[in-house]
Structure 1
Amino acid sequence: MLPEPDPALCRALADDLHDAGFFSEALRSAWGETADNAIARGLRSPAMRALGDRADALAVLGRLLVLGMPQPIAAVDQALPTLGAVGLERLGLCRIDGDVVPQAIIRPQSFTDDRGSGQWWIASDLDEAALGGPLPEDHVLGVGGASLTLAGLQLPTPAGRALDLGAGCGIQSLRARRDVAEVVATDISDRALRFTRLNALLNGMTGIRTLRGSLFEPVRGERFDRVVSNPPFVITPRVAGVPAYEYRDGGMQGDDLVASVIRGVGTHLEPGGVAQMLGNWESRGGAVGLDRVREWVECSDVPLDSWVIERESLDPLAYAELWVRDGGTVPGTPQHAALIDAWLTDFDERGVTGIGFGYVLLRRPVSGGPSLARYERIGQSLGGQDALGAHLARALAAHDRVAALDDDALAAAVLIVAPDITEARHHLPGVEDPSVIELHQGGGFARVVAADPGLAALVGACDGDLAVGVLIDAIATLLEVDGRELRRALLPEVRELVFTGFLAFA
């Protein structure tokens, strides 16, 4: 059992890590970008070769705390002069058995938001490479791609209280605490919550309180301005022999856990409060996954604004292979084949044809009913992952403003084109007029919008000088079309472009 973290020992460890230069960029420079990418795939040998016989503090701590390799006691004492190997053992992060044998990993994690760059140290359980085999079911996961995605999606606007549902190692709590006065972190795993408390202390973060329990049980009757959740959403067969990893398996069938969170979160939001989460959803029985998510939102006890984005969809076999391998079971073994078969049987029994992964943003209206119901697929690569939270915040504010305007008021508005928007025109050989006009977004979700000549002309003319209606009338004259018809055609597209960040109010 991981001991309760001692604040003084955590401060000593943080001081030593800082003095050793134990940061992301320094480690990446020490072993190179190729080795750094290999570590993310569970391969340690490129980094080990790059470090060679280096005995400086950064190399010793890199081997011990990132790669999970035993190190000599004297070398660790020298690398951690304030804490020492004994102090690291008292924190439960190693055991001393001839050498210092790691019992957890600590990885520096850099981040960037609208206020600049920063760095966290995140402790979690030993990974597959360090363990040399499958993960235990009570494994506490470190910072992966999904958790980084959700951290980047969090709204960077001030709020009072936040709930981190299924906190794990606590990365979402740390991110939320940058903008929220108080964070309540919940998890079914006491071990996970100890890592959350350890990581808060290690990074000098106060105002994070932990509660043990399933889903919303620990906060029954409470409401929050923000709810953030990277829940254990992985769809797992409920049969003997299939590991039930606490960090990814919520113990329910299919996508029932994600449905339960979506249906229940509204009652825990203050008016104007926002919930953001990741999730999987099944397409089954002829029902498309996004349509099923819409049904869950509509079944909420509290009416909610909704914005759901499906980033990718996998077929059942690809999904099974992904998560069997994630647990450390190697392809080509009898165990791997048996687990794949269990997953496929489970999907067949429910008629599952695909599994979507994506982002869910829900908001409790301050008053009245929902005004936003958006369910979309965005498959292209993202433009500026760290800035997505700010992009979402701007989109919500833009929606609220444009939703309050009727068409006459929108026509009277003065807009400007966003600075990251470019235009691409495609011509057939020898033809003067373009056959395709596209508007490209450099940031946000890197959207590409097909535009006809009228819309392209309007966007190009939005320089903060003339009102939208005046521009449309001038374009209608230029194109020799009816102005009223062009206005009816373009104003809905203007609303969309304001929401998605192509246009903004001057």
Structure 2
Amino acid sequence: MTDPTPPTDTPRTDPALLDALRADLARSDYTVEGVEDLLGPLAAAALHREEAVPALRATAGTTDPRAALVRAFVLGVDVPRAALERALGRLGVAGAQALGLVEAAGEGPDDAVRARVDLRPYEAADGLDTDPATPGTTGTAATTSAATTSAVTGTVDWWVASDLGELATGRALRTDHVLGVGGASTTLAQVTVRDARTRALDLGTGCGIQALHAARHSRSVVGTDISRRALAFARFNADLAGVARDRLDLRAGSMLGPVSGAGEALFDLVVSNPPFVITPRSPAAGAAGAAGDVPLYEYRDGGRAGDAIVRDLVTGVGAVLAPGGVAQLLGNWEVRRGEEWHERVGEWVEESGLDGWVVQRELQDPAQYAETWIRDGGTTPDRDPAAWAQRYGAWLDDFASRDVEAVGFGIVTLRRPLDGPPTLRRLEEVTGGVRQPLGPAVAASLAAHAWLDRRDDAALAREHLVVAPDVTEERYLTPGHADPSVVLLRQGGAFGRTVRAGTALAGFVGVCDGELSVGQIVGALASLLGVGAGDVAADVLPSVRGLVLDGLLVPVG
């Protein structure tokens, strides 16, 4: 499918110029590690907090080409043409202008050049083990630039373009702002399952980062977005990363609309960082209207009241999901007076007709939520106190109108069963630290659920299990007592789960080395404890299933 016509204020693609840009950025060591080395820990940490002064000081008065690139494309300050020419030796300022990346005041060496876009290095581990020469990437990107993949860690190094942010422009964001890679984007990239897929969908692709990750392990990817500016950035970033054009189909439209036509093939992976922010709506202006002067940003506001856009996606994504296919998305959900957080989301999962696993990672009260997203749009109480107060009040009024007491944020994983009704219903809160990337752990848990689903207790008794290598045991003893009062099984990776084990379960796990079957271990414990094997099985097997599901115990073979 032909890309939508790109707006004029977005970067443009040209194969020869992009080759030159990749080579220049790699030669200048414009990488995450290279930039942090240039800035030093203090300035790098401040920049992550959106504080520019230390980075401006660290990059002043040096001829290091990284400094010119950081000052122009991250900090948004004018740089002398000669300095940027040194950093972009092959592309040159003229080539950067042709790509729509910069604008120049003149052609003299001291004339100012200003970036039109944010262009910065991106690095993430997404859990995919693969060869650097990933099928579907162009040879140039895979061999001459930092747009490569580590065969050991699954770490990617790309450069990603987006609109300049508030840090660089010093003003509130435009409503059609194209966001770069933020914390939510990285979270989704790291929790997504990365086994081989035939056809993937990145719904609400934005600058295209999820599509880039999906292209590493999917034969073809479709990316959709309501914003044509976002699609233009996504195409630029895919071309810069070396994704073959025939493997990424970009389509304009809202939500599932662009992929719901007759004859459309189903997807076996859907990822989405949708515009899930709950923004006040004015009833007089309709569903898409803002309350008062609360602006609507395309990258975060889906034009629906409350959390309806996330609900619609959870309940509707099954229509485009192939049997065995997985959908993973981020979202917000309202917690209303008299309800637990999982009740509302649980209803959505039930309505979806899919296997469902929801992990709530954070819970904010309405005031915290309002502050977060008002600041995100560039309004602060010191810069514009009147607008701050008006928008704050609009958010609180909107939540009060629906009796919202809190807003949850989390990760939703859905799967269409290969056959039969859904059997996975898991809604849990995990607010502590986790070991990223989580994608392999999510994939392993989904596979473990399917494995357990096919085995009743009699079949499970014939299986052999081993303790996962990241599991440790902690025992707490009361002085003078030989037996521990508390036994904890701790998972070192993934979700970092801790399971309190009773005497029988601790004994069971302690001998899971793959030699004895589950049934043999249960029988041995029964003899040791002087109770019936049926009683031991009833005591430990439900917990054993939980340990297999969470990856603390692993089937042999």
TM-score with structure 2 setting the length: 0.88
When the two chains are superposed, the root-mean-square deviation of aligned CA atoms in Å is 1.4
Task: Check the 8 A contact 1:5/1:194 in 2, yes or no.
Answer: no
Partner of 2:35: 27
Classify the secondary structure of the residue corresponding to 1:82: coil
For residues 490 and 338 of structure 2, the distance between their equivalents in structure 1, rounded to whole angstroms, comes to 34
Partner of 1:230: 273
Shift of 1:349: 0.3
Matches within 5 A, 1:472-487: 472-487=522-537
Task: Check the 8 A contact 1:242/1:339 in 2, yes or no.
Answer: yes
Shift of 1:429: 4.4
Which among 214, 229, 233 is matched to residue 254 of structure 2?
214
Classify the secondary structure of the residue corresponding to 2:79: coil
Shift of 1:365: 1.1
Shift of 1:3: 4.8
Classify the secondary structure of the residue corresponding to 2:199: strand
Partner of 1:316: 366
Task: Check the 8 A contact 2:11/2:233 in 1, yes or no.
Answer: no
Partner of 2:77: 69
Which among 12, 16, 30 is matched to residue 8 of structure 1?
16
Which among 441, 444, 452 is matched to residue 394 of structure 1?
444
1:280 is the counterpart of 2:332: yes
Superposed CA offset, 1:374-406 (max 9, x none): 1111111102x12x1111111111111111011
Task: Check the 8 A contact 1:281/1:290 in 2, yes or no.
Answer: no
Partner of 1:337: 389
Letter in 2 for 1:103: R
1:123 is the counterpart of 2:183: no
Shift of 1:287: 2.7
Partner of 2:121: 108
TM-score with structure 1 setting the length: 0.97
Partner of 2:213: 175
1:408 is the counterpart of 2:446: no
Letter in 1 for 2:187: T
Partner of 2:88: 80
Classify the secondary structure of the residue corresponding to 1:43: coil
Partner of 2:544: 494
Partner of 1:132: 170
Shift of 1:431: 4.0
Task: Check the 8 A contact 2:178/2:299 in 1, yes or no.
Answer: yes
Which among 46, 49, 63 is matched to residue 57 of structure 2?
49
Superposed CA offset, 1:268-313 (max 9, x none): 011111100000001114233322112112223xx21111111111
Task: Check the 8 A contact 2:358/2:413 in 1, yes or no.
Answer: yes
For residues 12 and 85 of structure 2, the distance between their equivalents in structure 1, rounded to whole angstroms, comes to 22
Matches within 5 A, 1:98-497: 98-112=111-125, 113-115=127-129, 116=153, 117-206=155-244, 207-221=247-261, 222=264, 223-238=266-281, 239-300=291-352, 303-332=353-382, 333-383=385-435, 385-386=436-437, 388-497=438-547
For residues 244 and 105 of structure 1, the distance between their equivalents in structure 2, rounded to whole angstroms, comes to 22
Task: Check the 8 A contact 1:24/1:108 in 2, yes or no.
Answer: yes
Superposed CA offset, 1:199-256 (max 9, x none): 0011111211110000011111332111100000011001121011111111111100
For residues 304 and 156 of structure 2, the distance between their equivalents in structure 1, rounded to whole angstroms, comes to 37
Task: Check the 8 A contact 1:311/1:358 in 2, yes or no.
Answer: yes
For residues 350 and 82 of structure 1, the distance between their equivalents in structure 2, rounded to whole angstroms, comes to 58
Greater CA deviation, 3-12 or 94-103? Answer: 3-12
Shift of 1:4: 3.7
Shift of 1:172: 0.2
For residues 311 and 354 of structure 1, the distance between their equivalents in structure 2, rounded to whole angstroms, comes to 13
For residues 317 and 305 of structure 2, the distance between their equivalents in structure 1, rounded to whole angstroms, comes to 19
Superposed CA offset, 1:434-482 (max 9, x none): 3322111111111111111111111111011101111122123223333
Structure 2 alignment gaps of length 5 or more: 1-8, 106-110, 130-152, 282-290
Task: Check the 8 A contact 1:425/1:437 in 2, yes or no.
Answer: yes
For residues 297 and 480 of structure 2, the distance between their equivalents in structure 1, rounded to whole angstroms, comes to 61
Identity of aligned residues (%): 49
Partner of 2:555: 505
For residues 446 and 4 of structure 1, the distance between their equivalents in structure 2, rounded to whole angstroms, comes to 44
Task: Check the 8 A contact 2:490/2:499 in 1, yes or no.
Answer: yes
For residues 324 and 456 of structure 1, the distance between their equivalents in structure 2, rounded to whole angstroms, comes to 50
For residues 511 and 42 of structure 2, the distance between their equivalents in structure 1, rounded to whole angstroms, comes to 46
Shift of 1:41: 1.5
Shift of 1:489: 1.5
Greater CA deviation, 266-275 or 479-488? Answer: 479-488
For residues 440 and 336 of structure 1, the distance between their equivalents in structure 2, rounded to whole angstroms, comes to 45
